[in-house]
Structure 1
């Protein structure tokens, strides 16, 4: 029987991997990072690298202080009055001008200069000047001033059952990004391949090929063989991304965006990666079996979306909960949902990435999902065998309920 399942799996794999729809599903998610990289590259190449020009109005001391201290990344020039500065901005000879009146400052920029002079950067530079002036009035030495400006030392750590680990804003950002990425990857794969197996079964039923196939093999062989074939396509999909990612990290190792991603990935816990891969495999297989059961009730291609829609809604519960979980990680409802089969597939990896769930809890959710996989797979054998040659005119949901009763 296993030999026949391999033949069915091979047939499904070879047929699907040659179709444009498969490669479109593989390549479409890459369009966003490729476009972002291309736009960033073009902007970097075409941007004017010259420092912006900033005029200081009627204040030589302020101009010299900014220039000598290199407090702003700009060419500092002096102008005698505001009217002169305005004329220079309109004629594109200046990017902005700075005026000091009493103890307040006003920065006026051109439309292009708004992007070149950020409020935070200019405010920080002027604050340093003000601090130095006040220190001079108070007759503080340079060492005393430096001591006043010294920030407090703070080390952030995270305590869990694994012990203390380094924490902080950087780690929180990385964990949130990884959590979101894992949730999106799992959800995307679920959408692509549940729809694919539904299309495969619907195509065979609507064309009456299934009757010929079952004359040579059993429904059980077709059932498990199709799952194996789609599973091989998922593996090909993931390996393609892995090879592409490794290649990009080697070829583009000097790129800032790639360096940032590598720095983020470098801190990922190996236990988290292992769990995520296992949950992806078990969860995706569970959804494929569930889809195969419902797809066996389809009569033609027009019913595919009707059949897949409940599965999409089910997977979206975990997907949306995973995204919301980043803002309210300790919510009791989310904790409970992270152990529910099919929902935990996308939710638990997200919670583990942000360290609001322990590794023990994660593996408990994985064990529950694995048990659900076995139950659904065995339960599906009989439903698939019963309905794969049935062509009922009743609605799919009604047929499914009737099968549950029987």
Structure 2
């Protein structure tokens, strides 16, 4: 049986890995950032000077301060009154004007200009100027002013039965990044490979090749062989990106963006990382077995989308529950969902990353998902063997319910 299993798995793996569609699937995520970078580069080169032009109304001191301190990325000029400023906006000579009255600022910007003002950036710049003016009024030195602006030195740590460890926003942000990546990877791989295994089975059934295959091997060998073959393709897909990321991080180690990403990854909790990898493996295998079961009920290629659509919806429930429930993280429904197999696959990593679930809760959810994997795999043997040579005209969902009853 082992030789037959190896033969089926190898045949599925070799057939798919040689196809252009597989490598197009693998490389497509790389094309997206490349295209975005190219579009951004073209826009930057063709848009010319994007520095906004700002006129300050009847305030020579503010004009001089903005020009000298350069706290605002804009071309600063002065105008005598609001009427003149408005006319300059209509004539497209400036992009906006700033008025200070009774200690309050008003920024009027053009709606037709190619460049826009960022409210937060302008407010920050004006706040710095106000702070400097107040410091001068109260006769504070530059050292005293700097001391007032220095934020409090705070270190966040977490305490558990295992002891004290580093924590805080840095750790949570790193863990949340990993959990988001895991959820996206699971969803992306599921969309690709559940569809692939469904098409593989549907193609063999519709072309009647399955009869020939089962004459040489058993349904059980075909069932597990296809799962192993698709699993090897997923492993190849993941390893391709692991090698690519490691190579890029080494070759671009001096790049500022790469440095920031690496610093964030260094903050990832090791226990969380191990759990995420285990949940990724167990979750993907569970969905592959479930897809193989549903796909065995398919008669031809036209039914593939009908078969995989419920699986796609199921895979998004956990991820969407995590996003929608972010405002009510301690909701009892979310806590219950985090222990339900197939839903927990994408929900638990996000809850664990923000410390809404404990590591014990996470491993309980993982154990339940592993049990569900074993049950679905064993249960699938019977359904696959029964339906792989069956060509019923009934709807797939109805056939599935009939199989559950039996």
State the TM-score, normalizing by the size of structure 2: 0.86
User: What's the offset of the Cα at 1:38?
Assistant: 2.9
State the match for 1:181 in structure 2: 181
| Farther off after superposition, 318-327 or 142-151 | 142-151
Deviations 1:234-288 (A, max 9, x none): 1111112222323333455555554443333232223222222221221211221
| Farther off after superposition, 205-214 or 352-361 | 352-361
State the match for 2:168 in structure 1: 167
| Farther off after superposition, 208-217 or 14-23 | 14-23
User: What's the offset of the Cα at 1:146?
Assistant: 4.6
Shift in alpha-carbon separation, 1:350–1:103, aligned structure 2, 3 A: closer
CA distance in 2, matches of 1:72, 1:19: 54
| Farther off after superposition, 24-33 or 226-235 | 24-33
1:282 paired with 2:309, answer: no
SS in 2 for 1:105: strand
Question: Is the Cα–Cα contact under 8 Å of residues 319 and 347 in structure 2 kept in the other structure?
Answer: yes
User: What's the offset of the Cα at 1:229?
Assistant: 0.7
CA distance in 2, matches of 1:73, 1:393: 68
1:228 paired with 2:249, answer: no
Question: Is the Cα–Cα contact under 8 Å of residues 52 and 74 in structure 2 kept in the other structure?
Answer: yes
Question: Is the Cα–Cα contact under 8 Å of residues 179 and 276 in structure 2 kept in the other structure?
Answer: no
SS in 1 for 2:221: helix
Question: Is the Cα–Cα contact under 8 Å of residues 194 and 287 in structure 1 kept in the other structure?
Answer: yes
CA distance in 1, matches of 2:102, 2:405: 84
Deviations 1:343-376 (A, max 9, x none): 2222222222222222222222222222222222
SS in 2 for 1:164: strand
CA distance in 1, matches of 2:251, 2:37: 14
User: What's the offset of the Cα at 1:86?
Assistant: 5.2
User: What's the offset of the Cα at 1:197?
Assistant: 1.1
State the match for 1:331 in structure 2: 331
CA distance in 1, matches of 2:224, 2:274: 25
Shift in alpha-carbon separation, 1:57–1:343, aligned structure 2, 3 A: closer
Question: Is the Cα–Cα contact under 8 Å of residues 289 and 377 in structure 2 kept in the other structure?
Answer: yes
State the match for 1:70 in structure 2: 70
> Unpaired segments of 5 or more residues in structure 2?
none
State the match for 1:192 in structure 2: 192
Question: Is the Cα–Cα contact under 8 Å of residues 176 and 326 in structure 1 kept in the other structure?
Answer: no
CA distance in 1, matches of 2:104, 2:77: 20
Instruction: Output aligned runs, 1:298-309, within 5 Å.
Output: 298-309=298-309
User: What's the offset of the Cα at 1:320?
Assistant: 1.9
CA distance in 2, matches of 1:258, 1:146: 31
CA distance in 1, matches of 2:403, 2:77: 82
CA distance in 2, matches of 1:50, 1:325: 40
SS in 1 for 2:165: strand
Question: Is the Cα–Cα contact under 8 Å of residues 55 and 77 in structure 1 kept in the other structure?
Answer: yes
CA distance in 1, matches of 2:144, 2:157: 31
Shift in alpha-carbon separation, 1:388–1:129, aligned structure 2, 3 A: closer
RMSD (Å), alpha carbons: 3.0
CA distance in 1, matches of 2:364, 2:288: 22
Instruction: Output aligned runs, 1:99-110, within 5 Å.
Output: 99-110=99-110
1:392 paired with 2:388, answer: no
User: What's the offset of the Cα at 1:222?
Assistant: 0.9
| Farther off after superposition, 172-181 or 305-314 | 172-181
State the match for 1:124 in structure 2: 124
Instruction: Output aligned runs, 1:318-397, within 5 Å.
Output: 318-397=318-397
> Unpaired segments of 5 or more residues in structure 1?
none
Shift in alpha-carbon separation, 1:88–1:255, aligned structure 2, 3 A: farther
Instruction: Output aligned runs, 1:226-305, within 5 Å.
Output: 226-253=226-253, 257-305=257-305
User: What's the offset of the Cα at 1:233?
Assistant: 0.8
State the match for 1:311 in structure 2: 311
CA distance in 1, matches of 2:365, 2:24: 33
State the TM-score, normalizing by the size of structure 1: 0.86
CA distance in 1, matches of 2:258, 2:140: 46
Instruction: Output aligned runs, 1:208-223, within 5 Å.
Output: 208-223=208-223
| Farther off after superposition, 251-260 or 304-313 | 251-260
Question: Is the Cα–Cα contact under 8 Å of residues 12 and 230 in structure 2 kept in the other structure?
Answer: yes
CA distance in 1, matches of 2:153, 2:133: 26
CA distance in 2, matches of 1:258, 1:353: 22
CA distance in 2, matches of 1:50, 1:320: 38
Question: Is the Cα–Cα contact under 8 Å of residues 223 and 384 in structure 2 kept in the other structure?
Answer: yes
CA distance in 2, matches of 1:397, 1:190: 20
Shift in alpha-carbon separation, 1:85–1:232, aligned structure 2, 3 A: same
Question: Is the Cα–Cα contact under 8 Å of residues 318 and 347 in structure 2 kept in the other structure?
Answer: yes
How many corresponding residue pairs?
405
Question: Is the Cα–Cα contact under 8 Å of residues 58 and 78 in structure 1 kept in the other structure?
Answer: yes
